């Protein structure tokens, strides 16, 4: 049984979505960040960053939402959320998950907190907010999903960031993003979570 340490209104939403898409049984362990539960000594042994989400699976701890999505999609190929290692789509799949963690997330967070642009944008992994959004558009425009007709964990990870970015108004509501969200937003797993008050 997969144990998922989560908190309402947090990045653990992405991993809840992945679990719901996979249909795998899992146990939710509430680690409410509004009460500081993520800094309790027992939890710090699981994630020394004192952050959610984290999972424990077969005695192994995995933290970082992107790693959890990638790990679980590979651990349970029957869920159909990851191209196999020898599938030519594997490169595209990994590329956009890593882009989500390395570029989309910092770009959106910087925008949300009005961090000033730096002069030497070439020294930033994500370059600039505009560059990141332009690149993201190229991934989503062909559609319907990042891997074309195939929905994958890359759509869960990237889609959760787009959904959050649009919600907090830190992501420009470009037509490509809105159309993509119409498609992934229709996923029954996401609808189920959004309707649940506690996600
Ligand atoms: N890089 C981590 C970030 C996780 C993260 O920042 N989680 C926030 C909630 S959205 C958290 O636990 N904050 C509580 C704290 O830092 O005290 C990931 O992608 O999983």
Q: What is the pLDDT along the chain (199 residues), one digit of tens a residue?
A: 899 999 999 999 999 999 999 999 999 999 999 999 999 999 999 999 999 999 999 999 999 999 999 999 999 999 999 999 999 999 999 999 999 999 999 999 999 999 988 888 888 899 999 999 999 999 999 999 999 999 999 999 999 999 999 999 999 999 999 999 999 999 999 999 988 755 5
Cβ within 8 Å of residue 31, ≥6 positions away: 5, 6, 7, 37, 38, 43, 52
131 CB near ligand 1 (under 6 Å)? no
- Locate 165 and state its tokens: 């970015």
Please give the Cα distance from 5 to 30 (Å, whole number). Answer: 6
**What predicted TM-score, i.e. pTM, was given to this entire model?**
0.96
C-alpha 195 – ligand 1 centre gap (Å): 23
Give the H/E segment covering residue 139.
helix 129-140
10 CB near ligand 1 (under 6 Å)? yes
Give the H/E segment covering residue 15.
helix 12-22
Nearest CA to ligand 1 atom 18: 64
- Locate 178 and state its tokens: 């809105």
Q: Which of 47, 51, 61, 70 to mutate to test the pocket of ligand 1 (most atoms within 8 A of CB)?
A: 51
Q: Is 61 exposed, middle or buried (0-12, 13-18, 19+ CB in 10 A)?
A: middle
């Amino acid at each position: 049984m997969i144990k998922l340490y989560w908190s309402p209104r947090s990045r653990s939403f992405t991993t809840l979505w992945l679990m719901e898409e996979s249909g795998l049984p899992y146990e939710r362990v509430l680690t409410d960040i509004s009460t500081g539960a993520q800094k309790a000594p027992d939890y710090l042994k699981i994630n020394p960053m004192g952050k959610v989400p984290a999972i424990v699976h077969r005695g192994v701890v995995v933290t970082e939402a992107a790693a959890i999505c990638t790990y679980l999609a590979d651990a349970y190929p029957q869920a159909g959320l990851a191209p196999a290692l020898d599938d030519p789509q594997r490169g595209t799949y990994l590329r956009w998950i890593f882009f989500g963690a390395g570029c989309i997330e910092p770009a959106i967070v910087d925008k949300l907190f009005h961090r000033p642009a730096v002069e030497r944008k070439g020294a930033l992994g994500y370059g600039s907010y505009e560059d990141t959004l332009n690149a993201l558009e190229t991934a989503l425009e062909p559609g319907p999903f990042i891997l074309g007709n195939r929905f994958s964990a890359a759509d869960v990870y990237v889609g959760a960031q787009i959904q959050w970015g649009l919600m907090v108004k830190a992501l420009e509501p470009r037509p490509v993003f809105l159309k993509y969200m119409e498609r992934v937003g229709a996923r029954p797993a996401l609808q189920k979570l959004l309707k649940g008050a506690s996600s």
